[in-house]
Every structure is written in C-alpha cells, then in structure tokens.
Amino acid sequence: MPLTLNHIARQGGHGAAMMPIIQGVGRAAIEIAALLRGAVFRGALGEAGAKNVQGEQQQKLDILSDAIFLEEMRATGHICAVGSEEQEALLVISEYEDADYLVLVDPLDGSSNLDVDGPVGTIFSVVKRKSANDNTPVVDDTLQSGREVIAAGYVLYGPATMLVCSVGDGVDGYTYNPTTARFELSHGNMKIPATGGYYSVNEANADKWLDGMGDRLQNMKKETGLGMRYVGAMVADMHRTLLKGGVFLYPADSKNTNGKLRLLYEAIPMGFLMEQAGGKSLSKDQHVLDVQPESLHQRVPVYFGSKEAINALLPDA
C-alpha cells in the first residue's frame, strides 16, 4: 500500500510537528490545482491590475493562490505568521499568534507561464519562531538562514500535481492520486544524479551577467557537454534538475545586481532540498544556506545543481 503525507510524522526529529503543516500545504495544492484548471472559465487569467512589493505585475491567480495558501496555513492551527511573496508585510495569524512556526511562501511561482498553460508551482519553507510565544510574531522571526529551516518543499502543477518536501531527513516526492484523493509517495529518497542532465538558465541575459558568469558558463558547457532546458518557472526547472541532474542558475546581472530570485521563499527552500538530495547550492561565494537574510523580499543570485556541474561552473567555490 502507498505511503501518504502521514508518513512524514515518522521522519527525522521534526516530522511529527511538520506533518500537519505539510498536510495543510497538500490541501492548498489540491485547491490551487483545481483553480488553475478552471481559471480560464472564471476570468481568473491575466493581470490583477496591481504591482506586488517586487514591482512586478500581479496575476489574478497570484492573489487567489496566496489567499488559499494563507487560509490552509491558518487552518492547521500551528502557524503564527506567514511571509509571502505577494504580501509586503508579515501576515500574523491572530487566532494562533502564540504558535511555534512561521511559513515563508511563494504561492504561485512561474506566473509568466500561466496564460500559456505552462507549468507553475508553490514554494514553501518552515522556521521556528525566535520570539517568545506570548509575543506577537515579527519579521525578525523570518530572518533566519537556511541552516535554521525545519522543513521545505514545493508543489509542481504539471501533468500531475507533485509535492516534493524534506524535514531534514532526505527528500521525498508525493504525487496527487485523483482516485484516492490524496498525495501518495512516488519518488522516495530523491538524490540528484552525479553526472548528466541539463544546464538551465535564461541565456538572453548573458551579455548583462556580472562576476564573469558568461565565460564561466561557456567553460562549463565545454567541460560537461550538457544540453539546455529552461521552462521559466523555478519549480519546474529545479524539479527536472533534481531528477535528471545538471545545474539551474539565475546569476546577478547589470539589471538585477542581486539577481532576481528571492532568498527567503525561493532560494533557501530550494537550497535546502538540493543539499538534502546530495547537490550543491551556492549564492555568490557562499552556500545559500549560510546567507543571513536581512529583509523579507531580498534577492540573491543562485547556482543549484550536482557537484560535478557546480564545480565546472564555479571551480573556486
């Protein structure tokens, strides 16, 4: 019989505490997947007409997914606050502001794929509050390096809906089974292949890259002979990198001098998973998990992949 998300309760030191939270992510994923499938019939595609704190045009589905995710985190009863890509400030969950955990979330990743029916995802990480439980949680509770992460994962809304997560005891992939209406373990103990795979980067930015990344990428391509794949949704590109090997990178460039991807709810959760799966996660000259966050929406350049590909790209890292 297949293992379900309940299996998480038996994993690592934090599985029991994380299981109800990841079950909540699973419920949000099922609702968001249904929302995406029917969006065109509800006039839910397209822009919402507002910009988020990132200065990016919000899609209607960004806002709807954010609301679904927040409600499912509230309903777990274990989350005191949520830091979301779509919300400038930390969202305190007033009924449970004495709870132990906070969640950082990118509710809908890869939004530019929505109106072309491309893959998109949700990315999350869980940290334990630093403030006393009888205080109101504050942004500082979220500003913890990846070494403090208790659990992290992503949902990939593709031909199937997958939930890939870790509580620090390896990485497991669960696929939503519409017959049993639950997530069932389909990819146990995921490890990134040591060789092969693809390099994955938006090469249109190559002439603007900083830190000599253009030459470094050319050298890596020569040394490894990797093919290229780029979906434009971090979750999809990272999922393929985890399964097939290679490297995903979003370097700093003259337009985005700190890179484009956000540290707290894109780089750290993905870096946590990549390292749990035996890969490497770098940002500039340090491990992603060692970067000390200074603000909720700060951006960092990222290089994720197999040790072989990362060493070919950043030999002195």
Among Mn ion, ligand AHG, none, the one that 232 touches (CB under a kind-dependent 5 to 8 A) is: ligand AHG
- Residue 312 makes contact with ligand AHG by CB under 6 A: no
- Residue 234 makes contact with ligand AHG by CB under 6 A: yes
Nearer to ligand AHG, 61 or 220 (CB): 61
- Residue 111 makes contact with ligand AHG by CB under 6 A: yes
Site string for ligand AHG, 38-67 (x = CB under 6 A): ------------------x-----------
Nearer to Mn ion, 172 or 237 (CB): 237
- Residue 109 makes contact with Mn ion by CB under 5 A: yes
| CB of residue 63 to Mn ion, shortest distance in Å | 11
CB neighbourhood size of 244 (10 A): 17
* Residue from 257, 250, 287, 286 nearest 271 by CA: 287
Q: Where are the beta strands (DSSP E) in the chain?
A: 47-51, 57-59, 79-84, 91-92, 101-109, 120-128, 151-157, 161-166, 172-177, 182-187, 198-200, 227-228, 246-250, 280-283, 286-287, 302-305
- Residue 109 makes contact with ligand AHG by CB under 6 A: yes
- Residue 106 makes contact with ligand AHG by CB under 6 A: yes
| CB of residue 234 to ligand AHG, shortest distance in Å | 4
- Residue 112 makes contact with ligand AHG by CB under 6 A: yes
Rounded to whole angstroms, the Cα distance separating 107 from 267 reads 14
Q: Which residues bind Mn ion (CB under 5 A)?
A: 85, 106, 108-109
